[in-house]
């Protein structure tokens, strides 16, 4: 079922039918909704008529350099760690593999600002200063490598299996199979994962501030809010956008170079390589360490600082958690539907205009959350939209790319012949979507849902600036307490955030294991 | 495990649809409620203390006015209020630090109010001369010393922090910290630009690198002997001393508070917003919070000082009293930009 022929156009092109105008309209509407707040904000910033000329400012260069270094460092470290773990847990057999596979999702549930705050606090108890770019890269890698694991596991699992079986039957060893077969196959997914994690890095605010690293995200906010210089902020936002655009373009390039189609492997799920002796131990170590460290950072803090845990805080946990959960569920639904439509359009409407539009719509991820929030406030006031509606709009805008990235990669692995067969049997795009794509894409859809869910539960800047009165969420509380330097009070709500992430991850396991 | 196989997407869809419907209806209800004529006051606050809520509840009990609270970071709240413009529902804006108060004032976010009670309870240098904001609590920024490394007698004023004896032993917050900025602005107002410039050069030469991005870690570093002296707000040390963590208490006990003459003081303050729809309720809440009885509760929440005197907090009492810098809060805010410029020039990171 796997072919390596290059398709004629960007995607497969079943013959156009009238039913697709509806799809095109939906996509245009989604893209406009996604782009409106940003465009409006840039317009407001650039034509604000303020006296200051467009300039990077005193710290601008440092901030761009800081963000670039972070992206580079985290990207490389995350790609290596994520691919290695993805490969080991998907393809090799060693003790505890099943559990470790689930455990890889844990670090994602620990907000980076929390691990930074608790690590710094823990360090200062022991006379250790946690500060600077090295620590930041390490913490950001830990917080984001799971993206790479998740997406690469998917592709090792789906498309790689048969090729790997073939290479194995030809007597190629595990290492050579890994480098010559598995890595090229997984490249699009790894690229997608690295791009996602790098965008998280560009956007990270709390952790980089605490660790004293100059960054674009902090720069944009400071220029806007403290210096009162929206033009300068817009310029820095453009720099952030440029970095992300390069990332996304690079990822697409990789993906196009290694386009392979395959149906979800129906072969029985048995790990291909059984590891024994020191190899099994090494694999175990590689897979255990990152989630363990991610848990240990706040865990150590809790162990040593349990006396600081504030009891008063426990009473408010229930309403906080209910709000976080409600928001995350609603946002996940909205985001995934939008992402699915955008991904479908990439397959069904090959016209360059729609293609570009669906690509640009995902850029909301690149803009720092607080900037997006401002755009929504400016836009939402005159429209008299309720704050929660604005907030959901913001979540959808911000995390569209998260849902879409995995879906795009998954769609590209589906051979166009599947669609062609369905169309020739008289199905419209809705029919194909319902009867063919959705069943085949269940795995990537659930992964996307999990990512968006966990992201929304942790999300900070949008929630902080858009929520209505008396509507704090877990993440908001964690941040407020942590920024008051009261890590003890922050710990209870953050443990709940981690619990949510864990539950979401656990819900995903059966569908990951089943394939 | 098979229960997940078939219906998971359908279940998820139902859950998300339900949540969305619930949220949107909550949104509507709150907007409809807002339009009904229940007496209420909407507060944007840069403070996040659970004990504040008890005070607000007490206010509601006495007046029947409901308090709706939105807590956030100060700069963010200012920006939100600015962007919301006349659509904003905020009636009262509570901010920490004079620099931010004056920034909000310059953005025309406050409206002037006149209140005999506020004028009586809030000393003149702790409120805006135009009546746009009024202080609610005070905090001080003394020098904290590890006596084993630095002789406390060496430091009588902030100017002494530039003494060469402190080279490499002086720990400070980063330039981005508004606390540092306001301290420099205080020096600017009291001693003038040239003296401040000289002082900054000496201080920066003494600074241990890298500078700190939080006060708590810095105070611990003094107790542990990594820093000889540091400038930190009094409540960070008080928090460590009165907290439940034994290790922290032991470290904090090694820290001596040295009060420079005069000591830089800053405030948490509030003002009625320009677009307030419940301006009168906002003024009454402000009067309530600034009054000596409830004001002490507001200060107590964060180990701060009330508007007059030293309060009854035993931890703070043990720190002793000090001579307060006479610089009006409003001037601290006005000189903020200049202060940041000088800090940047001197190489303060």
Is the CB of B139 inside 8 Å of chain A's CB atoms? no
Q: Mean pLDDT check: name the lowest of A24-38, A365-379, B103-117.
A: A365-379
Q: How confident is the model at residue A270 (pLDDT cuts 50, 70, 90)?
A: low
Task: With H, G, I as helix, E, B as strand and everything else as coil, classify residue B265.
Answer: strand
Q: Domain A21-47+54-514: which topology?
A: MetI-like fold (1.10.3720)
**Mean pLDDT throughout B58-74?**
92
* Interatomic CA distance for residues A287 and A83, integer angstroms: 11
Q: Do A121 and B75 make contact, defined as CB atoms within 8 angstroms?
A: no
* Interatomic CA distance for residues B310 and B303, integer angstroms: 11
Share of chain A above pLDDT 90, in %: 16
On the question of pLDDT at A17 being above 80, the answer is no
What is the tens place of the pLDDT at every residue in B240-287?
A: 998 878 888 999 999 999 999 999 999 999 999 999 999 999 999 999
What is the tens place of the pLDDT at every residue in A87-107?
A: 888 888 888 888 888 888 888
ipTM above 0.90, yes or no: no
Q: What is the pLDDT of residue B338?
A: 94
> Please, where are the H alpha helices in chain B?
8-35, 50-63, 74-84, 98-106, 116-121, 178-191, 193-206, 215-223, 234-242, 246-252, 279-290, 292-300, 314-319, 329-334, 336-346
Contact B268, B95 (CB under 8 A): yes
In the structure encoding, which two tokens stand for residue A384, read together?
Answer: 């008299």
* Interatomic CA distance for residues A149 and A11, integer angstroms: 26
Other CB atoms within 10 Å distance of the CB of residue A86:
29
The 8-class DSSP code of residue A107 comes to G
Q: How confident is the model at residue A19 (pLDDT cuts 50, 70, 90)?
A: low
Q: Do domains B38-138+266-300 and B140-265+311-346 have the same CATH topology?
A: yes
Is the CB of A377 inside 8 Å of chain B's CB atoms? yes
On the question of pLDDT at A430 being above 50, the answer is yes
Contact A118, A298 (CB under 8 A): yes
Contact A63, A223 (CB under 8 A): no
- Best of B6, B25, B27 to substitute, by most chain A Cβ atoms within 10 angstroms, is B27
What is the tens place of the pLDDT at every residue in B16-29?
A: 788 878 877 776 77
Q: What is the pLDDT of residue A265?
A: 47
* Interatomic CA distance for residues A362 and A402, integer angstroms: 8
> Is the model more confident about B186 or about A192?
B186
Q: What is the pLDDT of residue B167?
A: 94
Closest CA of chain B from A211, distance in Å: 7
Contact A515, B246 (CB under 8 A): no
On the question of pLDDT at B137 being above 90, the answer is yes
Q: What is the pLDDT of residue B206?
A: 96
For the entire predicted model, the pTM comes to: 0.83
Q: How confident is the model at residue A7 (pLDDT cuts 50, 70, 90)?
A: very low
Scan residues 195-214 of A and list those with Cβ closer than 8 Å to B.
Answer: 209-212
**Mean pLDDT throughout A199-226?**
85
* Interatomic CA distance for residues B199 and A427, integer angstroms: 79
Q: What is the pLDDT of residue A12?
A: 45
- The architecture that CATH gives domain B38-138+266-300 is 3-Layer(aba) Sandwich (3.40)
Contact A483, B73 (CB under 8 A): yes
* Interatomic CA distance for residues A237 and A370, integer angstroms: 11
* Interatomic CA distance for residues A478 and A486, integer angstroms: 9
Q: Do B210 and A132 make contact, defined as CB atoms within 8 angstroms?
A: yes
Chains A, B: CB pairs < 8 Å: 162
On the question of pLDDT at B33 being above 90, the answer is no
Q: What is the pLDDT of residue A513?
A: 60
Q: What is the pLDDT of residue A371?
A: 76
Domain positions in chain A are 21-47+54-514
Average per-residue pLDDT in chain A?
A: 80
CATH assignment of B140-265+311-346, given 1.10.10.60, 3.30.930.10, 3.40.190.10, 3.40.50.10320? 3.40.190.10
Task: With H, G, I as helix, E, B as strand and everything else as coil, classify residue B94.
Answer: strand
Q: What is the pLDDT of residue B5?
A: 47
Is the CB of B197 inside 8 Å of chain A's CB atoms? no
> Tokens 């900070």 appear where?
A460
Identity of the highest mean pLDDT range in A61-65, A441-445, B18-22, B340-344: B340-344
Considering only CB atoms, B8 lies closest to which of A127, A332, A511, namely: A511
Considering only CB atoms, A386 lies closest to which of B22, B28, B84, namely: B28
On the question of pLDDT at A66 being above 90, the answer is yes
**Mean pLDDT throughout A287-302?**
89
Q: What is the pLDDT of residue A386?
A: 79
């Amino acid at each position: 079922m796997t072919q390596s022929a290059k398709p004629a156009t960007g995607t497969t092109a079943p013959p156009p039918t009238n039913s697709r105008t509806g799809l095109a309209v939906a996509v245009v509407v989604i893209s406009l909704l996604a782009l409106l707040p940003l465009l409006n904000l840039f317009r407001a910033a650039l034509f604000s008529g303020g006296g200051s000329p467009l300039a990077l400012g005193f710290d601008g260069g440092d901030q761009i350099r800081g963000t670039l270094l972070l992206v580079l460092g985290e990207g490389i470290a995350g790609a290596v760690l994520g691919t290695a773990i993805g490969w080991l847990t998907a393809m090799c057999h060693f003790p505890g593999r099943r559990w470790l596979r689930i455990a890889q999702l844990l670090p994602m549930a620990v907000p980076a600002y929390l691990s930074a705050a608790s690590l710094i606090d823990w360090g200062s108890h022991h006379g250790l200063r946690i500060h600077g770019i090295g620590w930041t890269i390490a913490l950001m890698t830990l917080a984001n490598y799971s993206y790479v694991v998740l997406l690469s596991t998917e592709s090792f699992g789906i498309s790689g299996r048969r090729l790997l079986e073939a290479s194995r039957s030809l007597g190629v060893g595990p290492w050579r199979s890994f480098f010559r077969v598995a890595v090229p196959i997984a490249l699009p997914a790894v690229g997608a994962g690295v791009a996602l994690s790098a965008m998280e890095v560009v956007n990270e605010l709390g952790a980089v501030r605490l660790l004293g690293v100059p960054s674009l995200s902090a720069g944009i906010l400071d220029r806007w809010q403290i210096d009162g210089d929206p033009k300068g902020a817009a310029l820095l936002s453009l720099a952030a956008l440029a970095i992300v655009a390069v990332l996304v373009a690079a990822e697409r390039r990789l993906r196009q170079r290694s386009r392979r189609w395959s149906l979800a492997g129906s072969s029985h799920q048995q790990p291909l390589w059984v590891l024994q002796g020191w190899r099994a131990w090494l694999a175990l170590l590689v897979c255990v360490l990152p989630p363990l460290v991610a848990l240990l950072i706040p865990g150590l803090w809790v162990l040593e600082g349990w006396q600081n845990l504030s009891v008063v805080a426990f009473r408010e946990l229930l309403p906080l958690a209910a709000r976080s959960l409600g928001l995350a569920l609603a946002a996940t639904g909205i985001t995934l539907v939008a992402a699915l439509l955008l991904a479908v359009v990439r397959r069904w409407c090959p016209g360059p205009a729609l293609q570009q539009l669906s690509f640009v719509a995902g850029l909301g991820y690149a803009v720092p959350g607080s900037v997006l929030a401002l755009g929504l406030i400016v836009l939402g006031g005159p429209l008299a939209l309720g704050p929660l509606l604005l907030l959901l709009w913001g979540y959808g805008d911000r995390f569209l790319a998260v849902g879409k990235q995995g879906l795009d990669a998954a769609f590209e692995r589906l051979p166009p012949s599947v669609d062609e067969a369905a169309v020739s049997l008289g199905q419209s795009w809705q029919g194909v979507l319902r009867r063919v794509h959705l069943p085949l894409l269940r795995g990537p859809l659930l992964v996307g849902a999990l990512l968006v869910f966990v992201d929304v539960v942790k999300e900070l800047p949008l929630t902080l600036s858009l929520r209505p009165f008396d509507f704090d969420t877990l993440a908001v509380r964690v941040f407020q307490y942590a920024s008051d330097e009261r890590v003890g009070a922050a710990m209870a709500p953050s443990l709940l955030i981690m619990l949510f992430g864990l539950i979401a991850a656990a819900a995903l396991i059966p569908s990951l294991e089943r394939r | 495990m098979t229960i997940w196989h078939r219906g998971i997407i359908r279940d998820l869809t139902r859950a998300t649809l339900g949540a969305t419907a619930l949220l949107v209806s909550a949104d509507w209800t709150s907007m409809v409620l807002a339009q009904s004529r229940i007496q209420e006051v909407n507060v944007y606050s840069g403070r996040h203390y659970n004990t504040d809520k008890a005070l607000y509840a007490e206010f509601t009990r006495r007046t029947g006015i409901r308090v709706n609270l939105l807590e956030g970071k100060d700069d963010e709240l200012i920006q939100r209020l600015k962007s919301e413009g006349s659509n904003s529902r905020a009636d009262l804006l509570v901010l920490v630090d004079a620099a931010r108060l004056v920034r909000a004032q310059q953005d025309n976010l406050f409206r002037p109010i006149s209140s005999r009670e506020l004028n009586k309870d809030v000393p003149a240098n702790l409120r805006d001369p135009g009546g746009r904001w009024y202080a609610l609590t005070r905090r001080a920024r003394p020098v904290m010393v590890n006596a084993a490394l630095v002789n406390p007698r060496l430091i009588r004023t902030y100017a002494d922090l530039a003494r060469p004896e402190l080279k490499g032993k002086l720990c400070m917050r980063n330039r981005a910290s508004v606390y540092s900025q306001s301290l420099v602005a205080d020096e600017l107002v009291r001693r003038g630009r040239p003296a401040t410039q000289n002082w900054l050069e000496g201080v920066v030469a003494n600074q241990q690198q890298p500078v700190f991005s939080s006060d708590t870690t810095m105070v611990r570093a003094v107790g542990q002997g990594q820093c000889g002296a540091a400038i930190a707000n009094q409540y960070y040390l008080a928090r460590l001393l009165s907290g439940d963590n034994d290790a922290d208490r032991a470290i904090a006990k090694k820290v001596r508070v040295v009060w420079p003459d005069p000591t830089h003081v800053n405030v948490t303050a509030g003002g009625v917003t320009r677009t307030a729809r419940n301006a009168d309720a906002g003024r009454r809440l402000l009067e309530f919070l600034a009054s000596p009885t409830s004001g002490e509760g507001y200060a107590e929440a964060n180990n701060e000082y009330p508007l007059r005197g030293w309060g009854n907090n035993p931890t703070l009492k043990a720190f002793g009293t000090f001579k307060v810098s006479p610089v009006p809060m409003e001037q601290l805010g006005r000189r903020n930009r200049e202060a940041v410029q000088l800090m940047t020039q001197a190489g303060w990171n």
